[in-house]
Structure 1
Amino acid sequence: MFDNIIVAVAADTGKSPLFSLEERVAMAEKVFAKEPNISVEPFQGLLVEYVARRNVHTVLRGLRAVSDFEYEFQIALMNRKLRPDIETLFLISDYRWLYISSTIVKTVASLGGDVRGLVPDHVLSCLRERFGFTHGEIEPVSLPPVPALSELARLQELEASLDRDTDK
């Protein structure tokens, strides 16, 4: 789709990042180290102005859910107002990642939960180190087990089926 991709890491996110700008750039660089057409660069200020300075004409954004679209659409329209020559292209995430967000991953990891498979291995190591889980597996906390998402879905289907049967 693109000859080259720049992963632009924002200094000013309006959020409270767990890792510094330098740490986030280093993690992204490690993740994409074997991808010769992907570079990672930090930036400050408006993304659309950074893109214009780099002489790039497309901003590539990922969407997970409808709620993402509403926010991203507003940002895309504002960017178009500021820089009509720059387009925003949205790619929809694979269904396996629709529920994943940095907030959820950080929360689960901070409580000792297993986020393997949700983030690259290097990022997993950084999360474990940041939260003090540096040796091997994260020790489980003594809470009652929570059913897996697939089990929850199965239970919801069963419940819906029972509801349909009682409506007859």
Structure 2
Amino acid sequence: MPSLELDRYLGTWYQLAAVPQFFNLVCARDTMATYALDPQGNVSVRNRCTTWMGTPNEISGTATVNDRVTGAQLHVSFPGVPTQESLEGPTNYIVTALGDDYSWALVTDPSRLSGFVLSRTPALNEAQWQQIRTAIEAAGQSQCMYLTSPTTGGLSGIAPLCTV
């Protein structure tokens, strides 16, 4: 990303696909993240989903911008989560690609071992999905690493993104 307009990025995002991570295995559907500015000028992070048991799951944290040039590299921390407790630290959240209108985002980490497809809405059209697939490949990742995330009003199943 040449530049991230943080004010435009704030708000609620639906997770439509992700590289499976231990912390999101509890989530069965409707995984969302809400970002807002906190009083210190950092970004408050609130992640929530519906578990396999049908109950809500939620965690809150803080993101700090690590790259003042582009604004697209952040360190996200969550109190009580081992290795993610410190407010300061190395970049672990990179907004790698964005729709021109900020309708979707591809988020990765420096090692490209994680990845999240985020959207302002629970569903995307085929042209948007094609842009995301192109962005994933441009980031050096495989679409097949990403599993779709069931979302009310969007995709209902879990499948490798390369097969959808």
TM-score computed with the length of structure 1 as normaliser: 0.30
Q: Greater strand share, 1 or 2? A: 2
Instruction: Tell which structure's C-alpha radius of gyration is larger.
Output: 1
TM-score computed with the length of structure 2 as normaliser: 0.30
By relative contact order (CA 8 Å, sep 6+), the higher-ranking structure is: 2
Q: Greater helix share, 1 or 2? A: 1
